Amino acid sequence: MVKWILVAAARPNFMKIAPLLRAIKTYNRLNGHRLIPYLVHTGQHYDYNMSEAFFGDLGIPKPDTHLGVGSGTHAEQSAKVMIAFEKVLVREKPALVIVVGDVNSTMACALTAVKLHIPVAHVEAGLRSFDRTMPEEINRIVTDCVSEYLFTPSPDGDKNLLREGISEDKTYLVGDIMVDSLLDSLEKAKNRPTLEKLGLVAGCNGGSADRKTGVRSYALLTLHRPANVDNGDRLSRILNGITRIAERIPVLFPVHPRTQKQVRLFGLENAFVFHQTPALELSDYEEGGVLKKKIHCFEPFGYLDFLNLMAHAKVILTDSGGIQQETTVMNIPCVTLRDTTERPLTISQGTNVLVNDDEQKIVSEVSKALNGVRRKSMCPAIWDGHTAERIVTILAGKQEE
Ligand code: UD1
């Protein structure tokens, strides 16, 4: 019996943890029961629709331990995670700790484990934006530096690790674990009545829609990076671009809690229509039933509803990391509101383009997408939905050595 602790903390972690838990189960079934997964939720994200909703959508069991750390400054949050996680490690004595992604809890748990001489596996290792003002970049560098097993999603990750002096023997190119969840959930997500509930399908609240699909056209926006939303000037520039887009096509905007706070702080509420209920209302439509060309704001959606909305969007504007990958796999135009990306394959092979906070670029790249000007894109070969299986097989083999 070998116990592995898996750490989940924030929204972008949950779709990376779910396939690992599934792969461990499968491994045990095929090889005799030997691996015991022990799930720790640090509580970095705690709102229902930033956390619990994802557990339900992804079929993740209740965590074995919830650290309940909540929000705070970087130091406060990381320190609280370390203090609480150390107690769990001392009590549970795992053979391995698996961390995913690049959030504060990823780094904090990796550091805590390695100081207790417990080996750490980092899933989604090697990504670099080369922008050290991003908290995630520091988390990536520190986590990779102390990890024993580094699982990269793409060859650029291997090169980055090598350049930083990390031995090739520790690095494994396994593909993108987010794609495991995406491919596993896409059909289920598409079958949900998300669009109907929002009134985005012809027949709901009346109105015209695409003749073939019956779906009304819309762009989808996500925005939460501190660099974008904590700086009023930058946020205003981005919103100017998006407001111009909303003159052409309705923009649906599930608003991250950080962004909700900042929009209020900078007094920018007038740029949006806020929806208290998850559904659009009759007042959101012009006469004749066409959805008003405005920025329509919602509370964050769960995983499956958001996948559904992505799958039917004409274009996605985002500053998220994961959405750049998901849109590449789904072959949907992605306009990224950043000046760097730690996921260069989404540009060289996928549908992604960087526009930073440049109003003109935002408008012109979205216009290209709306006018059907598409770059040739292809899904990287190794993003095939089997990343978690590869990781579990490698780790189980290593533990036997
Ligand atoms: C964190 C990650 C980021 C990831 C993002 C996804 C770090 C450094 N950042 O950023 O990489 O892309 O999650 O969402 O780890 N809040 C709530 N409810 C919640 C969670 C947060 O209201 O459930 C609010 C709090 O006011 C908090 C703020 O959002 O202060 C920011 O949360 P935090 O976890 O610090 O960072 P994120 O911006 O979510």
Instruction: Print pLDDT tens along the chain (401 aa).
Output: 899 999 999 999 999 999 999 999 999 999 987 899 999 999 999 999 999 999 999 999 999 999 999 999 999 999 999 999 999 999 999 999 999 999 999 999 999 999 999 999 999 999 999 999 999 999 999 999 999 999 999 999 999 999 999 999 999 999 999 999 999 999 999 999 998 888 787 555 444 566 667 777 899 999 999 999 999 999 999 999 999 999 888 899 999 999 999 999 998 888 777 776 556 666 776 665 566 668 888 899 999 999 999 999 999 999 999 999 999 999 999 999 999 999 999 999 999 999 999 999 999 999 999 998 877 788 888 999 999 999 999 999 998 77
Catalytic residue among 41, 45, 122, 224: 224
Q: Which residue is closest in CA terms to ligand 1's atom 19? A: 45
Residue 281 CA, ligand 1 centroid: distance in Å = 29
Nearest CA to ligand 1 atom 3: 103
Domain locations along the chain:
2-175+384-400, 183-370
Nearest CA to ligand 1 atom 1: 103
What pTM, to 2 d.p., does this model score? 0.94
Long-range contacts made by residues 80-87, C-beta under 8 angstroms, separation at least 24?
A: 81/9, 81/42, 81/44, 81/105, 81/108, 81/109, 81/112, 82/108, 82/109, 82/111, 82/112, 84/42, 85/7, 85/40, 85/42, 85/109, 85/112, 85/113, 86/112, 86/116
Q: Which CATH architecture has domain 2-175+384-400?
A: 3-Layer(aba) Sandwich (3.40)
**224 is an active site residue:** yes
List pocket residues of ligand 1, CB cut-off 6 Å: 10-12, 44-47, 50, 71, 102-104, 135-136, 224, 256-258, 261
Task: Name the CATH topology of 183-370.
Answer: Rossmann fold (3.40.50)
- DSSP-derived 3-state class of residue 80: helix
- Report the residue among 45, 51, 301 best suited for mutation to probe ligand 1: largest number of ligand atoms under 8 A from its CB: 45
From atom 13 of ligand 1, which residue's Cα is the shortest distance away? 10
